[in-house]
Structure 1
Amino acid sequence: MRYPIVIEPGSETTAFGVVFPDLPGCFSAGDTLDEAIKNASEAAALWIEDALDQGVAVPPPSSFDAVRGNPEWKGWIFALADVDPMLFDTSAERVNITLPRRVLVRLDRRAKEEGETRSGFIARMAMSA
């Protein structure tokens, strides 16, 4: 999946600034154009993960032509930032983990106290970290 980005040109003394028209408040920068585009992909992944964790809908990417045609971005550079579509995958997957028995007993006790299954408790703990 690729999101269009607009990049404010940098110079010898300023970084290239990156804005995502589709992801409000998501921005990045880089000392070079290549670095700015790479950093943009990382910023988008963090923005999307945070939005999903908070139950906020993630807007789909706009068409590249629509963004490029917006007069607000006149004089800026246009590119696409890659976003791993697995960020949106909410399908359950069975995993096999190995834990010391004493840890498993403690984990099950905590899950029961919270009124959750073992899997649900582990998932919630991982998401809150």
Structure 2
Amino acid sequence: MYVVALLEGADGAWGVSVPDLDGCVAMGATGDEALRNAQESLREWIEARQAGGFDVPTQRELGALLADPEVREALAEGSTLARILVVEDVGRPVKANLSLDSGVLAAIDSTAHRLGITRSAMVEKLAKDRLSEYA
């Protein structure tokens, strides 16, 4: 799932807010850091909402967001739109067969061993950390 957010700030102080998810915000020293933090904030916001028995509000289409006076005002004041990937932990592992270069697999295994986690946990961590770059 992708969420459209507003990114604003200046050197040393950046913020992200999600117009359709009231109270869902994140901060960072750089815009990139704020966007990375927003990914985690979104996941936590959604999990808290669901744990409380509430639905997650449906995201508006881009046209509807751009028609929103508050969003238009934020954009006029220098905010930009950002698309953030939300990776939900559903707690249901699924087996997947992957073909990797043997050198890459050795590096994954070595790093996983050093961190005290399984190969699967290492691959999952790498994917979560990098997926947003391709959103």
Q: Aligned Cα RMSD in Å?
A: 2.1
Structure 2 CA distance, aligned partners of 1:77 and 1:69? 15
Amino acid at match of 2:32: D
Which of these residues, 37, 47, 50, is aligned with residue 49 of structure 1?
Answer: 47
State yes or no: 1:11 paired with 2:10: yes
Amino acid at match of 2:2: R
Structure 2 CA distance, aligned partners of 1:15 and 1:64? 26
State yes or no: 1:83 paired with 2:81: no
Aligned to 1:96: none
TM-score, scaled to structure 1: 0.59
Amino acid at match of 1:11: A
| Contact residue 15 and residue 31 of structure 2 kept, 8 A | no
Note the 1:1-129 alignment, pairs <5 A.
1-8=1-8, 10-12=9-11, 14-72=12-70, 73-74=74-75, 75=77, 76-84=79-87, 86-87=88-89
Structure 2 CA distance, aligned partners of 1:7 and 1:69? 18
Number of aligned residue pairs: give it: 88
Runs of 4+ in 1 over 4 A off after TM superposition: none
Q: Deviations over 1:48-67 (max 9, x none)?
A: 00011110110122223332
User: CA 1:58–1:5 in 2, change beyond 3 Å: closer, same or farther?
Assistant: same
Amino acid at match of 2:85: D
Amino acid at match of 2:6: V
Higher gyration radius (CA): 1
Q: Deviations over 1:87-120 (max 9, x none)?
A: 5x59x88xxxxxxxxxxxxxxxxxxxxxxxxxxx
Q: What percent identity do the matched residue pairs reach?
A: 34
| Contact residue 68 and residue 78 of structure 1 kept, 8 A | no
Q: Following TM superposition, by how much is the alpha carbon of 1:83 offset from its aligned partner in structure 2, in angstroms?
A: 0.6
Amino acid at match of 1:59: P
| Contact residue 3 and residue 62 of structure 1 kept, 8 A | no
| Contact residue 4 and residue 81 of structure 1 kept, 8 A | yes
Unmatched segments (≥5 aa) in structure 1: 94-129
